Structure 1
């Protein structure tokens, strides 16, 4: 009877172990399928531009806090940008990573145009050197978009947009209208000046012609016989006066002297970035509690499986159904050892002032072609 009870208990335990293993296997299989699907979704990265045999590529991340709705590229020698690389309804979300495919002509650099959602202005970055560029971070600071360039050697630089590109389309139109009005005013002033000079020269010529005609008439009338000798002297004086009027009229018809209109000339100077290396805390110091394990012998009831270590006889005597016991060695935790781990640091490069560009005055130039140094 005792032997049958032991066999039945063993069979029941074995069936429970086998069924538990089958359930665990099913659970692991479904978990693996779910993880595979999640990994496949993570690998789906959107791109910009078309990949061709001549195209280059780089990674960029949107860190503007806004959606990028305009992204255009061109070779630096080309006059205008092409179509928007983002399709209608598509936008690069904040923190989103994409791969950009672009094509530039030989010995050319890359021009980039970026526009954000709900912004009426775009930002143009000219002559971006993509040599050895690993990735580009697009950020938005002080109401301007900036490009953070990270090269393959780990160095970084911040590129700012051209001054004209940060203006709205309305501001650009207003500036063009102002320039056109200024040109019209300058043209009208020049025309007025030329007309006044022309009218003055005509008046001088008319006046000199009239005076000489009147004096010739007077001299002809005075040529008649007369007893007054003073007429001859007056004739001589009158005949010499037209020459003076002719000289004054010729001097007044000379063109006005050119006045230089000096326009400041600038050149773009690149200011390299400055930075330093510093130790950055990666992980704080911490203490680990490592358990101390030992093997100890235990006594278990063969019928109910209870732990009867130290009171096996009492258990069997007080139980009506329990028959016999057995011993088994098992691993138990008897204490803990404290293991201290030091803090972890790493060296990082910190940018003190990013690379940028500035306009430097080099001299002045007139519309006539003459120049002068600063």
Structure 2
């Protein structure tokens, strides 16, 4: 049996491996429990009128029910988790545990857990390392925390400490989600989503939220995947906060530009193979009027090229590098969902990259490594989390 368990207001944790679980609500309360439930092997259905994008994007995505409440939803369900969010389901009634749902649950004799992270996480100021005094001193400040490539085990110790004493967390979908299930129940979690070409909170709105909550005397953590200062817009946020004289500091994250290749068995440098690494944002294709990349110069370089945010434009980039003279046999490795259970590595050459990405249905998040290092022998064992 899987030993992972949902954190709930019970004396002992609950083993949820293989159990159908309904989570009532899709807001900050659900944020605290859904990741742990999925990791614990539960088959999760979120019942809510509105669900945070980050919850729908979790690996092993939970089902979402936004329609009218029906007792048939309880078929195959072994546990109900009440999050404290307003379910907002049509005909569900009022309150966090509507009467219509309560009656059906009682009739089916299904156990109910009330999600309460504070029961297990203890006092907000009780951070590791004896930093209890920090919590008060941090009020009115903002920490820009990088979350690493995805798995919460690769979040820095200091980053985790600050999350546990934050009043407000503004989180992107690529930030580790499991750690958000462990923050105190009183912490406000704002979902910035940042889904490529999908719904997301505008950067101006993110800046405004950081400023508003910090000015209200709260300690705010801006939580992103990777490192905030490598194509993470961290300095933009720092500038906006500086304009309002809000003290801002940084907890760097493990950047996916180097971590993802390493996890996939690719060293972006190797003695005698390359003396240079170029990290490029691929969110704009070659030839775009707003692109700042000299693709001809990149093609003429011999070293490693690491592409971030390039799933959509990867094929066009490979074409540009080929046109610029980079050999077609140049090895390419694509590492998808690095550090997560869905991680995989797909290899190609620069000439076959377009076809391979299409055939393999490469999806974000993915890091593309172009260069001779991608063709070196695979001697690293898969990382186990």
Q: Name which one, 1 or 2, has greater alpha-carbon Rg.
A: 1
Whether these two folds match at TM > 0.5 is no
Higher helix proportion: 1
TM-score by length of 1: 0.20
TM-score by length of 2: 0.20
